[in-house]
Amino acid sequence: MIMSSVKIECVLPENCRCGESPVWEEASNSLLFVDIPAKKVCRWDSLSKGVQQVTVGTMAEETAPAVLERHQGSLYSLFPDHHVEKYFDQVDISNGLDWSLDHKIFYYIDSLSYSVDAFDYDLQTGKISNRRSVYKLEKEEQIPDGMCIDAEGKLWVACYNGGRVIRLDPETGKRLQTVKLPVDKTTSCCFGGKDYSEMYVTCARDGMDVEKLLQQPQAGGIFKITGLGVKGIPPYPYAG
């Protein structure tokens, strides 16, 4: 892999307060993402470069970005018949989740645990078991946030306050690659583009002072990374 071929560009200077949850929509060549505090769902057309916005929803506010009353969250599963099951509680911030390529392992991040965890996963029942940590973040990597998997089964994790995405091997627990961005509050990532060779990264600007915003004018934008030398896989649609 030739590291110097990696290119990072801000394709949408959106000024999201907290951009999150990017998903590639293949049928429209578009990136879907949300701005959580602004209560917006957005679609960015990669061909026309236009943005559609829908204002939705409500949520409890954090006292400050990533600062909240501890252990108030839970992990749920929504099944195709629309029933919901709670798997566990005492969660701080449920964040990145994905499945291994053979669907036998479920990967999950509770951000303030500073860990990427794995569970055994039963595709037929949706049950999870045998929780273990596959990677503990190092101090400079800061807070693990959103996550996606590539076509080689390696995990990519956006590091909030760390200004980077990191590539991990969940089998060995080793970090394989670090891609630094020109913004600190990277929140999530996904693969997209016509062959899923592009990575899209969301970020936030809430909690940054005026001086920091001047230093990082692209904070809150949508970034595209190319030249990673690896492709992603299409997202799975909800079966219900």
Residue 145 a catalytic site member: yes
Q: Based on the number of CB atoms within 10 Å of its own CB, is 59 exposed (0-12), middle (13-18) or buried (19 or more)?
A: exposed
Q: What pLDDT does 56 receive? A: 57
| Residue 227: C-alpha distances to residues 148, 189, 224 (Å) | 17, 15, 10
- DSSP characters for 115-167? EEEEEEE-TTT--EEEEEEEEEPPGGG-EEEEEEEBTTS-EEEEEETTTEEEE
* C-alpha to C-alpha distance for 124 and 135, rounded to whole angstroms: 27
Q: What is the mean pLDDT of residues 20-27?
A: 95
Nearest Cα residue to 205 out of 11, 9, 20, 7: 20
| pLDDT, tens digit, 9 for 90 and up, residues 133-178 | 999 999 999 999 999 999 999 999 999 999 999 999 999 999 999 9
Q: Is the pLDDT of residue 106 over 90?
A: yes
Residue from 98, 110, 145, 206 carrying the catalytic annotation: 145
* C-alpha to C-alpha distance for 20 and 28, rounded to whole angstroms: 20
CATH superfamily of 7-54+139-226: TolB, C-terminal domain (2.120.10.30)
Residue 117, beta-bridge partner list: 108, 133
Q: Is the pLDDT of residue 57 over 60?
A: no
**DSSP H helix total and E strand total for the chain:** 1, 18
Sign of CA dihedral 188, 192, 196, 200: negative
What confidence tier does 63 reach under pLDDT thresholds 50, 70, 90? Answer: low
**Structure tokens of 93?**
């911030």
What confidence tier does 238 reach under pLDDT thresholds 50, 70, 90? Answer: confident
Nearest Cα residue to 11 out of 150, 192, 206: 192
* C-alpha to C-alpha distance for 43 and 41, rounded to whole angstroms: 7
Nearest Cα residue to 109 out of 84, 86, 91: 91
Q: Which residue has the tokens 């990277």?
A: 186
**Structure tokens of 113?**
């645990």
pLDDT: is 181 or 1 the higher one?
Answer: 181
Radius of gyration of the chain (CA): 17
Q: What is the mean pLDDT of residues 1-27?
A: 88
% of the chain beyond a pLDDT of 90: 80
Q: Is the pLDDT of residue 64 over 80?
A: no
* C-alpha to C-alpha distance for 211 and 214, rounded to whole angstroms: 5
Q: What pLDDT does 175 receive? A: 97
What confidence tier does 71 reach under pLDDT thresholds 50, 70, 90? Answer: confident
Phi, psi of 28 (to 5 degrees): -115, 5
Q: What pLDDT does 236 receive? A: 86
Q: What pLDDT does 4 receive? A: 57
* C-alpha to C-alpha distance for 16 and 171, rounded to whole angstroms: 35
| pLDDT, averaged across the chain | 91
Q: What is the mean pLDDT of residues 187-192?
A: 98
What confidence tier does 2 reach under pLDDT thresholds 50, 70, 90? Answer: very low
Contact 62, 204 (CB under 8 A): no
